[in-house]
Amino acid sequence: MATPLEKWVEEQADLTKPKKIHWCDGSEEEARKLIETGIKEENIEGTPVFKELNQNTWPLSYYHKSHPTDVARTEHLTFICHNENDTIGPTNNWMHPDEAKEKMKNLFNGCMKGRTMYVLPYMMGHPDSPYAKACVQITDISYVAVSMRIMTRMSKKVIEKIGNLNNFVKGLHSVGDFNPERRFIMHFPEENLVQSIGSGYGGNALLGKKCFSLRIASWLGLKEGWLAEHMALIGVETPEGKIYYIAAAFPSACGKTNFAMLESTLPGYKVWTLGDDIVWLNIGSDGRLWAMNPETGFFGVAPGTSLKTNPNMMKTLKNTKFYPVLYTNTALNLDTNEPWWEGLDGDIPENLIDWQGKKWERGSENKAAHPNSRFTVSIYNCPTLSEEYDNPNGVPISAIILGSKRTKLLPLIVEAFNWEHGVFCGARSGSETTAAAAHSVGVIRRDPMAMLPFCGYNMGDYFKHWIEIGKKLTKQPKIFTANWFRTDENGKFLWPGFGDNIRVLKWIIDRIENKVDAKETPIGLIPEYNQFDLNGINLSKEKWEKLFNIDKEEWKTEVLEVQKFFNQFGNHLPVELTNYLEKLKTQL
């Protein structure tokens, strides 16, 4: 008798008609073979799936080039398919499940002809955690199979774990013909199912990541009383040897990976890494909020990564512990066969080809590496990996940071008055769009808790759920908003950022330990200049004032934007948020 899993795979094969089916076991030996296959396999326009990079300087590293239209998440082609439109709210694209299934059936029909179907069994979360989920993704490209080995706990043990059950998370993926006209990412939350066609790009194609661990998991969290969040997760060790765990949401390409492994510039302080993109939060039996990272790898933005900004990531990339390391859509140094991107240490190489394979002319307006070019690397390579990373219980959270990218308006760090006010601060957040998704870059849009593209249901209900979680916690973490990106009148960043963000973390811990005061403003509590550690950096009082200035006129405009955004949710919006908005208006 075939198991439900075998039956499901057979049905998908009947539909997609691959030449061959390969069940992956997640071993290193298998990954080596997949890469070898990828090196010989044509992907697009005569380009192979993988190219080996210089193994002396970039050990275990391989290069992958995407189709030129397939370099970022495509939010307009991403749908949540609940029976009722109202369930998903005004911020998601909706399609009725029946219509979506029919559409996808036609697109998937015969799409794997002549290709190999890879069956990938994997866990999201530590297998011993009660929150872990057994998942199976089908794909027809070795790049996705190898990426999933890095990003998840892929193993044939998952097949045994699933056994005769049908409740595993299902993902069907094909790159199709890469045509954006025939590209869709469909989520069926009621069935734990994702179907994706036409893209090989990260968030569109690695279905355990944003599709399951955020969009569908957020829906599961609503029903089961937990949260799935777009957050980095760190432990901050103080000079006294105490470790505080902090979860931080920042929108896509706004600093989570850098934050996750920041190299402290303050003596005695050290940051331990647990995650850089996704956190599942639950209420522990002790009434505290507990966090775990369901992933096992980093799919990080390459441009800007260097020994200066993120030395621990450079070490992670060069570590030879876990095979392999992938580079997608960076530039290539033709003389040395090394990857290159804007911001990498050293001189700009003489002989570069850009991410599309064209000779790159020095001084060209175009970037050599795509602004959303990325590396894929195992978290086990990370030199600052926390000892608690593989603890199936996760870690207890002392503070939550809800960050955004604003060149104006928003101070470096603001403490919310209380949990509900913190939820309001997250809900009202706007951020500048980045190259992580296919849309115009640098436009301010509302992005509550950095979850706008990832919340799998009505965000009004999501805000309510956050408030409810807060009520159930006997020890609520403090909530803060952060912004590393405020600029002066010349467009220069006011705050040095990166390793110096430890100063902000120190202030947060000092607040938790009741060691420092804070100044009350209409938007929350801000630090006092003389109670914030600026030793070793040159930050004048004048600059500080700019960094923390609350411009009432700017905030009045902001409040109108927030009001417009909130209005869309009608009676799904919790009254607590309306009240905080009214209060803010009055105080301005």
Tell me whether strands 61-64 and 325-328 are parallel, antiparallel or unpaired: parallel
Nearest residue to the partner ligand GTP, using Cβ: 497
Report the residue number, 458 or 501, with the smaller CB distance to ligand GTP: 501
How far from 169 is each of 130, 150, 212, 466, CA to CA, in Å? 15, 18, 8, 25
- Token pair, residue 579, equals 């009240």
CA 156 to chain CA centroid, nearest Å: 26
Which partner from the list Mn ion, ligand GTP, ligand SPV, none does 501 bind, CB cut-off 5 to 8 Å by kind? ligand GTP
H runs (alpha helix) in 46-96: 85-88
Which partner from the list Mn ion, ligand SPV, ligand GTP, none does 203 bind, CB cut-off 5 to 8 Å by kind? ligand SPV
Q: How far is the CB of 327 from ligand SPV (least distance, A)?
A: 15
Quick one: which of 74, 78, 252, 316 contacts ligand SPV (CB under 6 A)? 252
- Quick check: 64 binds ligand SPV (CB under 6 A)? no
- Token pair, residue 384, equals 């600052």
Which residues are 186's β-sheet partners?
79, 195
Q: How far is the CB of 277 from ligand SPV (least distance, A)?
A: 5
- Token pair, residue 178, equals 């890469």
Which residue from 578, 574, 468 is spatially nearest to 227, judged by alpha carbons? 468
- Spell 158-192 as b/e; 16+ CB within 10 A means b: bbeebeeeeebbbbbbbbbebeeeebbbbbbbeeb
Q: How far is the CB of 120 from Mn ion (least distance, A)?
A: 21
Q: CA 495, CA 254: separation in Å to the nearest integer?
A: 14
Coil vs helix vs strand at 225? coil
- Quick check: 497 binds ligand GTP (CB under 6 A)? yes
Q: How far is the CB of 211 from ligand SPV (least distance, A)?
A: 9
End-to-end C-alpha distance for the chain, whole angstroms:
69
- Token pair, residue 439, equals 């849309």
Looking at 15-23, 162-170, 256-264, 464-472, which segment touches ligand GTP (CB under 6 A)? 256-264
Q: CA 170, CA 185: separation in Å to the nearest integer?
A: 13
Report the residue number, 16 or 373, with the smaller CB distance to ligand GTP: 373
Beta strands in 311-383 (DSSP E): 325-328, 331-333, 338-340, 352-353, 374-378
Torsion from C-alpha of 192, 256, 50, 435, nearest 10 degrees: 90
- Token pair, residue 422, equals 């913190």
Q: CA 270, CA 470: separation in Å to the nearest integer?
A: 29
Report the residue number, 375 or 580, with the smaller CB distance to ligand SPV: 375
Q: Footprint of Mn ion on this chain (CB under 5 A)?
A: 252, 277
Report the residue number, 43 or 252, with the smaller CB distance to Mn ion: 252
- Quick check: 436 binds ligand SPV (CB under 6 A)? yes
- Quick check: 432 binds ligand SPV (CB under 6 A)? no
Cβ atoms within 10 Å, residue 298: 28
Which partner from the list Mn ion, ligand GTP, ligand SPV, none does 145 bind, CB cut-off 5 to 8 Å by kind? none
Cβ atoms within 10 Å, residue 14: 8
Looking at 147-155, 205-213, 255-263, 324-332, which segment touches ligand GTP (CB under 6 A)? 255-263
Looking at 36-44, 84-92, 93-101, 253-261, which segment touches ligand GTP (CB under 6 A)? 253-261
In the block, residue with structure tokens 């209420």:
283
- Quick check: 341 binds ligand GTP (CB under 6 A)? no
Which partner from the list ligand GTP, ligand SPV, Mn ion, none does 276 bind, CB cut-off 5 to 8 Å by kind? ligand GTP
- Quick check: 504 binds ligand GTP (CB under 6 A)? no
Which partner from the list ligand GTP, Mn ion, ligand SPV, none does 73 bind, CB cut-off 5 to 8 Å by kind? ligand SPV
Interaction pattern, residues 176-215, with ligand SPV; x per rule: CB under 6 A: --------------------------xx-----xx-----
Give the active site residue among 254, 382, 425, 455. Answer: 254
Report the residue number, 82 or 209, with the smaller CB distance to ligand GTP: 209
Report the residue number, 187 or 506, with the smaller CB distance to Mn ion: 187
- Quick check: 433 binds ligand GTP (CB under 6 A)? no
Coil vs helix vs strand at 421? helix
Q: CA 474, CA 477: separation in Å to the nearest integer?
A: 10
C-alpha angle 354/327/348, rounded to 5°? 45
Report the residue number, 171 or 255, with the smaller CB distance to ligand GTP: 255
Coil vs helix vs strand at 385? strand
**Annotated catalytic residue 254:** yes
Binding residues among 309-338 for ligand GTP as defined by CB under 6 A = 309
Quick one: which of 18, 200, 235, 255 contacts ligand GTP (CB under 6 A)? 255
Quick one: which of 104, 136, 227, 301 contacts ligand GTP (CB under 6 A)? 301
Report the residue number, 61 or 252, with the smaller CB distance to Mn ion: 252
- Quick check: 433 binds ligand SPV (CB under 6 A)? no
Quick one: which of 140, 229, 263, 276 contacts ligand GTP (CB under 6 A)? 276
- Quick check: 255 binds ligand SPV (CB under 6 A)? no
Report the residue number, 202 or 574, with the smaller CB distance to ligand SPV: 202
Q: CA 561, CA 392: separation in Å to the nearest integer?
A: 41
Contacts of 303 (CB under 8 A, 6+ apart): 341, 342, 343, 367, 369, 371, 373
Quick one: which of 79, 184, 485, 544 contacts ligand GTP (CB under 6 A)? 485
Report the residue number, 18 or 297, with the smaller CB distance to ligand SPV: 297
| CB distance 421 to 521 below 8 Å | no
Which residue from 398, 61, 406 is spatially nearest to 244, judged by alpha carbons? 398
- Quick check: 254 binds ligand GTP (CB under 6 A)? yes
- Quick check: 422 binds ligand SPV (CB under 6 A)? no
Q: CA 97, CA 189: separation in Å to the nearest integer?
A: 10
Which residues are 232's β-sheet partners?
248
Binding site for ligand GTP (CB under 6 A): 250, 252-258, 276-277, 300-301, 303-304, 309, 436, 484-485, 493, 497-498, 501
Active site residues: 254
Q: What is the contact surface with ligand SPV in residues (CB under 6 A)?
A: 73, 202-203, 209-210, 252, 277, 299, 436
